[in-house]
Amino acid sequence: MSGTTFGSLKVRNYRLFTTGQLIKLLGTWMLFTAQDWLVLQLSDNSASALGIVTALQFTPVLLLTLYGGQLADRYDKRHLLLIANAAAALVATLLGVLVVAGVVNLWWVFVTAGLFGAISAIETPVRQAFVSELVNKELLPNALSLSSATFNTARVVGPAVAGMIIALLGDRTGPIFLLTAALSIAPLVSLIRMRTAELFRAEQRTIAARDARTIDGLRYVRRRPDLSLVIVLVLVIGLFGFNFQLTLAVLARVEFKVDAQYFGLLTTAIAIGALGGALASSRRLARPSIWLVLTAALLFSGFETLVGFAPSFPLAVLLLLPTGFFMVYFAQAANQRVQLGTDAAFRGRVMALYVLVFLGSTPLGSLIIGWCAEHYGPRSGIWVGGAVSVLATLIVTVLQLRKAGGKVRVHLRPRPHVHVDTPVLEPAR
């Protein structure tokens, strides 16, 4: 099992990349947790203020991600990642100094959140596309899953550590931002130590802008219904269902009235489940089918809806485990279906579009969900997102079944599973 689950770690460049990312992401999730807590402190527990800072953090994704994908297809991805990670470290240092000096206000948090968003908008599609240069094609599904496992390991540890530090320091968040800046140095060291001769890529050259146009990437996706269907579903679920950065903070502080340590417990629960989902995906050796993507989306949406109605804090923590599992299992299946089905020449732009709909939908979604939580109670921010995601998944499933002329059969024996009878499993490329 370990040979399959952790096979990509045998590749030196990928091992360096994963180590640097894990250390950096630990700091990033600590920063996000501290930032949310700081916003609630500065705004007298306003869910709307938290929605605004979340929107500002993700709005640059709408404006810059497609450009980031174009850069990824034109220039050396390793060099781009060095620049982006160095910029993130500088912004974290700025916010930490402001908080420690006692001069921070809500507007400064808004500004730094926007800067983090701009950096992430460029870095994320480049990083997603760079994974395909670290390992060969046979190991790519495993490498994508392990990258997700790295992300979710950080989600497990980061918020929990941040909660403990905040509690130990008497609700002080400044040291966390400074620690994040220090941890951001790790990916710079890893990228510098990589052996470029061992990267899996064509001869490196600067490509003219006319040969890597964003519009050509969009046309490519439009001609590929097997890609566009998944991207549309990710758009809807990202818009309404993936707002836990906002909803869990409000649920903890307003509904359950717990302190920072218990807020960290909520985020840790969903992250533990997410880590399990990432590891479960790591044994996948081929491109996942559309039916696997739809099943995972439905299970995630259903469990999220149940979290919104959880009557007690312990039950909410328990339900967040399968919610996190299927959240990442769906996200990984969708990511792998898109990335493994995309030609290398278009991968940067297609993954930029994927990141755009996955993260770029968050600004509008966070405002909608934040408004719901403000006016109809903190629970509504969660169950509304889950219910809308369930409905969207069912609609897409019906449309796909009608297009393929298939039927769904549920079997309870010899083991519970869903089987789809259809003459066309994969749309023509």
* Res 286: pLDDT: 75
pLDDT tens for each residue of 36-53: 888 888 887 777 787 788
Confidence of residue 208 (pLDDT cuts 50, 70, 90): very low
Count Cα atoms within 13 angstroms, Cβ side, for 215: 2
Confidence of residue 427 (pLDDT cuts 50, 70, 90): very low
> Which amino acid, residue 194?
M
Does the pLDDT of residue 368 top 60, yes or no? yes
Residues 6 or more apart whose Cβ sits within 8 Å of residue 113: 35, 53, 54, 56, 57
Residue tagged 């009608």 (tokens): 402
Instruction: Identify the weakest region by mean pLDDT among 123-127, 213-217, 408-412.
Output: 408-412
Nearest to 160 by CA among 267, 14, 80: 267
Domain boundaries, the chain: 8-197+211-421
Distance CA 224, CA 347 (A): 13
Average pLDDT over every residue of 210-238: 79
Does the pLDDT of residue 3 top 70, yes or no? no
Higher pLDDT, 82 or 99: 82
Confidence of residue 416 (pLDDT cuts 50, 70, 90): low
Does the pLDDT of residue 395 top 80, yes or no? yes
Distance CA 19, CA 35 (A): 24
* Res 340: pLDDT: 79
Q: What is the 3-state secondary structure (H, E, C) of 248-313?
A: HHHHHHHHCCCCHHHHHHHHHHHHHHHHHHHHHHCCCCCCCCHHHHHHHHHHHHHHHHHHHCCCCH
Confidence of residue 410 (pLDDT cuts 50, 70, 90): low
Count Cα atoms within 13 angstroms, Cβ side, for 49: 18
* Res 288: pLDDT: 86
pLDDT tens for each residue of 62-80: 788 888 888 887 788 899 9
- Contact by Cβ (8 Å): 269, 306: no
Average pLDDT over every residue of 298-313: 90
* Res 428: pLDDT: 40
Nearest to 189 by CA among 273, 81, 286: 81
Q: Provide the token pair at 260.
A: 């920072």
Average pLDDT over every residue of 339-352: 77
Count Cα atoms within 13 angstroms, Cβ side, for 225: 10
Question: What CATH number is given for 8-197+211-421 in this structure?
Answer: 1.20.1250.20
SS3 state at 46: coil
* Res 402: pLDDT: 75
Average pLDDT over every residue of 297-317: 90
- Contact by Cβ (8 Å): 108, 57: no
* Res 419: pLDDT: 65
CB atoms within 10 A of CB 267: 27
Residues 6 or more apart whose Cβ sits within 8 Å of residue 414: none
Average pLDDT over every residue of 143-160: 75
pLDDT tens for each residue of 241-254: 887 767 787 777 77
* Res 1: pLDDT: 44
- Contact by Cβ (8 Å): 262, 159: no
Distance in Å from the first CA to the final CA of the chain: 33
Confidence of residue 363 (pLDDT cuts 50, 70, 90): low
Share of residues in the chain with pLDDT > 90 (%): 15
Residues 6 or more apart whose Cβ sits within 8 Å of residue 219: none
Does the pLDDT of residue 87 top 70, yes or no? yes
* Res 296: pLDDT: 93
Q: What share of the chain is helix, strand, coil (3-state, %, to 5)?
A: 80, 0, 20
Average pLDDT over every residue of 391-415: 75
* Res 154: pLDDT: 77
* Res 15: pLDDT: 93
* Res 429: pLDDT: 45
Confidence of residue 277 (pLDDT cuts 50, 70, 90): confident
Of the segments 31-45, 181-195, 267-281, which one has the largest average pLDDT value? 181-195
